[in-house]
Structure 1
Amino acid sequence: MKTHTTNYQNTFIAVADDCPSAKGEIPTTKAGHKTVAGLQFDMISKHPYKYTSDEILFAVFATRNDLTEQELASARETFFAKGQACLRASALGKRYGWGIHHNAEGKIALYGCNTPEYRNYLAQTGIKIVKAMQSKR
């Protein structure tokens, strides 16, 4: 079975052109529960450059589906057997104003779009710059 990946290396995902936020905002909860963006934000912001995109996406999937330890290995194989939307499709870059940096090892960190670090990544040569996907066409 083919395994797909969402990992990037040496890449910066800039906020979408239609992002309504002028700074990095903490994602809101809905009905008292964390959203996908909220779960992603917590993992990445508390542990910058610890996880890859694949690790974040699968951990959020596992949390939202209440997977047990015994189910994780087979669920991961099934999850990545088909293509998954990468973090360019995340609300972090589309709605909440977070740029996502992938280092040479594919580990990720967040930078608010109003920060000097964010602007530095946009100005760098030697890394690939891609935009988060727009919410509207």
Structure 2
Amino acid sequence: MKVHTTNYRDTFIEIPQNSPITTAGIPPERKQKTIARKQYELLINQPYQLTSDEVLYTTTAFHKGISKEEFFSKGQPCFRASPLVKQYGWGVHFNHEEKMAIYPMESEEYQRFKQDSSLKHIQSMRQKR
């Protein structure tokens, strides 16, 4: 069985070019946590501790009892499609070990990563018009 991955190395995912937001927002707390809120909580509390595969599996498939092998046997949307990036204004940096951290779009760190030519730069999926 072929296993697909969503991990990146030395990469920065930027918010969509057509995004209307000007500052990053925190996904709202709800009785039933959204995927965005689950991803936010994992990444804000554990920067550079998890890979994209680990975050996506934990927030979308683990609670459904789906095995990692089954989950990753089909291609999964990467963090370019994450609501954290598309809707809430968080950039995602992946280090050389494929571990990730999030940065609000208005932060100095976001701007530094955005200008860093040693990183691969990827635009988030565009907002729907």
Q: Deviations over 1:40-60 (max 9, x none)?
A: 000011000000000000001
1:63, CA displacement in angstroms?
4.8
1:23 deviation in Å?
Answer: 1.5
> How many equivalent pairs are there?
129
How well do the aligned residues superpose, as a CA RMSD in angstroms? 1.4
The equivalent residue for 2:60 is 61
TM-score, structure 1 as length reference: 0.88
Q: Percent identity?
A: 41
TM-score normalised to the size of structure 2? 0.94
Equivalent residue for 1:28?
A: 28
- Match of 2:73, SS state, is coil
The runs of 4+ residues in structure 1 deviating greater than 3 Å are none
Give the C-alpha shift of residue 18 in structure 1: 2.5
Q: Which has the larger radius of gyration?
A: 1
- SS of corresponding position for 1:12: strand
Which residue in 1 is equivalent to 2:44?
45
Alignment of 1:1-137 (within 5 A): 1-30=1-30, 32-65=31-64, 67=65, 75-136=67-128
Distance 1:98 1:57 in 2: 16
Amino acid at match of 1:18: N
Q: Please list the CA deviations of residues 93-116 of structure 1 after superposition, one character each: whole Å capped at 9, or x if unmatched.
A: 100000000000100000000001
Amino acid at match of 2:20: P
Shift, 1:64, TM fit: 4.5
Offset of residue 9 of structure 1: 0.2
Counterpart code for 2:49: K
Unaligned runs of 5+ in 1: none
Structure 2 residue runs of 5 or longer lacking an equivalent are: none
Letter in 1 for 2:6: T
